Amino acid sequence: RCELSNRTGMDSETLKRAFLNNLFYVQGKFPALATTNDYYMALAYTVRDRLLQRWINTAATYTELGSRTVAYFSAEFLMGPHLGNNLINLGIYDQVEQGMAELGLSLDELQEEEEEPGLGNGGLGRLAACYLDSLATLDIPSLGYGIRYEFGIFDQDIRDGWQVERTDKWLSAGNPWEIARPEWSVEIKLGGHTEHYTDDHGNYRSRWVPDQVVKGIPYDTPILGYQTNTANTLRLWTAEAPESFDFRSFNSGDYLGAVYEKMISENISKVLYPNDDSSQGKQLRLTQQFFFVSCSLQDMIRILHGQNLPLENFHKKFAVQLNDTHPAISVVELMRLLIDHHQMDWEQAWTITHQTFAYTNHTLLPEALERWPIELFGSLLPRHLELIYEINQRFLDEVRIKFPDDEERMIRMSLIDESGERYVRMAHLACVGSHAINGVAALHTELLQKDVLRDFYEMYPHKFTNKTNGVTPRRFMVLSNSQLSKLITSKIGDSWIKNLKELQQLEQFVDDAGFQVEWRRIKQHSKTELATYIQNNNNITVDPDSLFDIQAKRFHEYKRQHLSLLHIVTLYNRIKANPDIEITPRTFIFGGKAAPGYFMAKLIIKLINSVGNVVNRDPDVRGRLKVVFLKDYNVKLAQRIYPAADLSEQISTAGKEASGTGNMKFALNGALTIGTLDGANVEIREEVGEENFFLFGLTTEEVYHKRAHGYRSRDYYHTNAELKLAIDRIASGFFSQGDAELFRPLVDDLLNQDQYFLFADYASYIACQDQVAAVYKDQTKWTRMSILNAARMGKFSSDRSIEDYCRDIWKVEPVNVELRQ
Ligand code: 26M
């Protein structure tokens, strides 16, 4: 009884006892010798014990019922720290905080100790994590399938203002949240060639003879829903050399050869590619994609057989969502498994396959659309290339029937790009092999239909739907902004946490002076905490009464961090021209990583730090402007940032940001948005009301129009005096100790290309920022707008997104899990 309650009891006394027990028996330490990491590990195991009970009951329930299951295939899962989130979802955060305090420990400090699993680049990976939280919270049977990268997204250092990358060793202190399942390892084939033969029934068949075999080992992490017994699974694959390989080479005496091959095999899951845009056609990347997809599909077939279900039911048992085209090779791999391994005929295999998969597109940038050189593809996956040719032939026959005598269309739509060097087009493969295709915001889906996937929309209009992104209020409100969450709960009860639309009830308090004071006090508290963090990390003193103006996201020219820089330099120029000018004090905060090979993005980071070095120290400024670059932006830091923001910068060129999800997290925490009509900004503005949103800039159509009619950025430079002054200041070397060369690539690009229309949007942006500054002076008005923003963000819960996917695409129902032991 005591043993059991040590592992499951939820009261603060039992939790303390269990914690000390784990410290002794798992970490092998007693308090006098224990490090912070020992304490963190002991607490993590204490929490994990409570998860295990729910996890096992969930698995048992699904197995018994043979429940229809969602499989979310994603090359990235940007989970963020597990400890705090699990405490929230278990409903024991306050008890544990209390218990730790009684032992003289700070729960905040223990949470700080966790190395977050940064197995993603940005929005796409974090969306996958929010969706797993919502799937579990909504009691939907589901599995996340991906790669257990040994090195996740790099850690970012800043040296002399430049980004420097360091490897992310997130596993070095051990990972208490995962359990290896070597008994469910699978084998993956790579390379080699195909052979053709006639089978016993006289059918012409193909056989893959690979030249390499690797083993995939699954590691499982429980994903607990909020206030439910459902604990689903995130299953990530690690690559290893198969044991048989050692054995073979040992026999042939080539020991070093065997070790070398082992090393090559293990490379597959070594490192996350740190790009979030251009696909560079690297063989290892395609290997990673095929590796996790093949492991996962084989695992699903094992599960199906384990439940005595026939293979013909694959699409009835599983709905697979493809998170962008990174797992799109699934379409071909499932066909191969069904046809080559299970002797299914083509028609039936194809019916099962396209009814299984659905594809989410996350980008409109043409350079980000994945394509693989045929040579490379065929050398790694020779059998898959054959199957793609066959899929393509049948597909183009359909196109020909629907659109006769339209050779151009066939060339555009083919799965193979033959305009120069030949490529496999992964987005086309995903469209053909899926029964549903979706964009991630209303505008994005519309642009997919009109532009990027227009031919596919004309061919298969019924496949297309919009699924606007959402974010989880558990991590991004309850955990990260506990004071605001408690204030809200004190007014409207706590059911908003599972039903975010209920935030609307806050509107009744918008003119309640007492509520406004509380709302402001909490924002002020979060700003003060961030100010302390900035003091400790950047050694910059910032004023918590100033307007906190924040842009936190990956660095990319289309996101236009440098447009915000032009605003900063403009304000600085105004001060230099008239030091007594009346100006709303602002703290500009940036955070984000640049892809290591993206020169311009790294130069923009350098420019932020360079401008900061001048502005922060200039006595004429009198502390009214501060510029801060927070290094190593990740989920942990994001959780500190959102609650402290007054103004959220969502300023991408219209038509470029598929959705954005940071925009949602800021607004939910009461920040006002300055933004373009891009991605989900459009819908956020619709929800919060245009009077509560700072809109500027060209629309998508205006951008297209300008581009088509010859955009000349230089004309804006010559006709806008403040713009000219800002550019000249940067170009002169003023921010680079007189070095006029340093920022020349950036300045030249803006004057000559400016493909993201900064100059065209500059005047509108500056005017809008002047509006922002004016409104901020009226704190009552600002607070009203802030409350209304949070109150009207209900639509952007990832629970709503998941409900939409469940109803329209996956056709899957909740399954209730009872605790039986
Ligand atoms: C591709 C090939 C090789 C290596 C890496 C990649 C790759 C990795 C990540 C490409 C794109 C990746 O992510 C793109 C991304 O994060 N897109 C964002 O998705 C969010 C969730 O839908 C949206 O909110 C953002 O607008 C969109 O930019």
The full set of domain ranges for the chain reads 66-80+116-150+165-467, 493-803
In angstroms, rounded to a whole number, what is the distance separating the alpha carbons of residues 549 and 688?
19
In angstroms, rounded to a whole number, what is the distance separating the alpha carbons of residues 334 and 312?
12
Which residues 6+ apart lie within 8 Å of 806 measured at CB? 70, 138, 140, 812, 813
Between CA 385 and CA 396, with CA 391 as vertex, the angle to 5 degrees is 125
pLDDT score for 246: 60
Which of 74, 119, 363, 652 should be mutated for ligand 1, with most atoms under 8 A from CB? Answer: 363
pLDDT score for 659: 98
DSSP label of 158? E
Task: State the distance from the centre of ligand 1 to the C-alpha of 490, rounded, in angstroms.
Answer: 38
536 exposed, middle or buried (CB, 10 Å; 0-12, 13-18, 19+)? exposed
Report the nearest-CA residue for atom 2 of ligand 1. Answer: 279
Average pLDDT across the chain, whole number: 97
Residue 559 falls in the annotated catalytic set: yes
In contact, 496 and 503? CB cutoff 8 Å? yes
Q: Which residue has the tokens 């269990």?
A: 18
- One of 3.40.960.10, 3.30.43.10, 3.40.50.2000, 3.40.50.620 is the CATH number of 66-80+116-150+165-467, namely 3.40.50.2000
The distance in angstroms from the start CA to the end CA of the chain is: 12
pLDDT score for 243: 79
pLDDT score for 127: 99
In angstroms, rounded to a whole number, what is the distance separating the alpha carbons of residues 704 and 699?
9
Report the nearest-CA residue for atom 13 of ligand 1. Answer: 276
Task: State the distance from the centre of ligand 1 to the C-alpha of 558, rounded, in angstroms.
Answer: 13
Task: State the distance from the centre of ligand 1 to the C-alpha of 325, rounded, in angstroms.
Answer: 10
Residue 463 falls in the annotated catalytic set: no
Index of the ligand 1 atom closest to the CA of residue 285: 3
Q: Please pick, among 428, 560, 665, 792, the residue that the annotation labels catalytic.
A: 665
Q: Please pick, among 326, 354, 362, 631, the residue that the annotation labels catalytic.
A: 362
Task: State the distance from the centre of ligand 1 to the C-alpha of 424, rounded, in angstroms.
Answer: 19
In contact, 788 and 692? CB cutoff 8 Å? yes
In contact, 24 and 30? CB cutoff 8 Å? yes
Burial code (b: 16+ CB inside 10 Å, e: under 16) for 74-94 equals: bbbbbbbbbbbbbbbbbebbe
483 exposed, middle or buried (CB, 10 Å; 0-12, 13-18, 19+)? middle
Index of the ligand 1 atom closest to the CA of residue 127: 21
Q: Which of 281, 253, 249 is nearest to 265 (CA)?
A: 249
Task: State the distance from the centre of ligand 1 to the C-alpha of 733, rounded, in angstroms.
Answer: 35
In contact, 66 and 315? CB cutoff 8 Å? no
Residue 523 falls in the annotated catalytic set: no
How would DSSP label each residue in 745-757? HHHHHHHHT-TT-
Report the nearest-CA residue for atom 19 of ligand 1. Answer: 124
pLDDT score for 688: 98
Task: State the distance from the centre of ligand 1 to the C-alpha of 62, rounded, in angstroms.
Answer: 32
Q: What is the pTM of this model?
A: 0.98
Q: Please pick, among 82, 354, 384, 553, the residue that the annotation labels catalytic.
A: 553
In angstroms, rounded to a whole number, what is the distance separating the alpha carbons of residues 79 and 72?
14
- Is the torsion defined by CA of 495, 496, 501, 505 positive or negative? positive
Report the nearest-CA residue for atom 25 of ligand 1. Answer: 660
Which residues 6+ apart lie within 8 Å of 464 measured at CB? 436, 437, 438, 445, 448, 449, 453, 457
Which of 276, 292, 359 should be mutated for ligand 1, with most atoms under 8 A from CB? Answer: 276
Residue 553 falls in the annotated catalytic set: yes
pLDDT tens digits, 165-214: 999 999 999 999 999 999 999 999 999 999 999 998 898 999 999 999 99
Neighbour order of strands in the sheet with 423-425: 371-373, 423-425, 416-417
Which of 362, 364, 650 should be mutated for ligand 1, with most atoms under 8 A from CB? Answer: 362
Task: State the distance from the centre of ligand 1 to the C-alpha of 274, rounded, in angstroms.
Answer: 11
Task: State the distance from the centre of ligand 1 to the C-alpha of 125, rounded, in angstroms.
Answer: 8
In angstroms, rounded to a whole number, what is the distance separating the alpha carbons of residues 644 and 1?
46
Residue 362 falls in the annotated catalytic set: yes
Assigned CATH topology for domain 493-803: Rossmann fold (3.40.50)
Residue 661 falls in the annotated catalytic set: yes
pLDDT score for 254: 81
pLDDT score for 248: 62
Task: State the distance from the centre of ligand 1 to the C-alpha of 363, rounded, in angstroms.
Answer: 7
DSSP label of 11? S
Supply the Cα-derived Rg of the chain in whole angstroms.
27
Beta bridge partners of 380: none
Which phi and psi angles does 385 have, rounded to 5°?
-65, -40
How would DSSP label each residue in 115-151? PP-EES-SHHHHHHHHHHHHHHHTT--EEEEEE--SB
345: three-class secondary structure by DSSP? coil
Q: Ligand 1 — pocket residues by CB below 6 A? A: 121-124, 127, 273, 275-276, 279, 285, 362-363, 368, 370, 440, 469, 657-661, 679
Which residues 6+ apart lie within 8 Å of 321 measured at CB? 70, 71, 72, 73, 357, 358, 359, 360, 805, 809, 810
- Amino acid identity of residue 735, one-letter, is F
CA distances from 131 to 143, 157, 208, 323 (A): 11, 30, 36, 11
Which of 121, 323, 443 should be mutated for ligand 1, with most atoms under 8 A from CB? Answer: 121
pLDDT score for 531: 98
How many residues are listed for the chain in this entry?
A: 821
Q: Which two tokens stand for residue 301?
A: 């077939």
- Give the helix ranges, DSSP H, for 372-512: 374-380, 382-402, 407-413, 426-432, 442-447, 454-459, 473, 482-492
In contact, 722 and 768? CB cutoff 8 Å? no
In contact, 583 and 571? CB cutoff 8 Å? yes
Q: Please pick, among 425, 498, 559, 567, the residue that the annotation labels catalytic.
A: 559
Which residues 6+ apart lie within 8 Å of 315 measured at CB? 351, 352, 353, 355, 356
Spans in the chain with pLDDT lower than 50: none
CA distances from 796 to 368, 483, 490, 800 (A): 26, 21, 22, 7
In contact, 15 and 99? CB cutoff 8 Å? yes
In angstroms, rounded to a whole number, what is the distance separating the alpha carbons of residues 807 and 663?
26
How many other CB atoms are there within 10 angstroms of residue 721's CB atom?
Answer: 9
Q: Which of 592, 627, 594 is nearest to 608 (CA)?
A: 627
Which residues 6+ apart lie within 8 Å of 771 measured at CB? 694
In angstroms, rounded to a whole number, what is the distance separating the alpha carbons of residues 558 and 655?
10
Q: Which residue has the tokens 């409207």?
A: 492
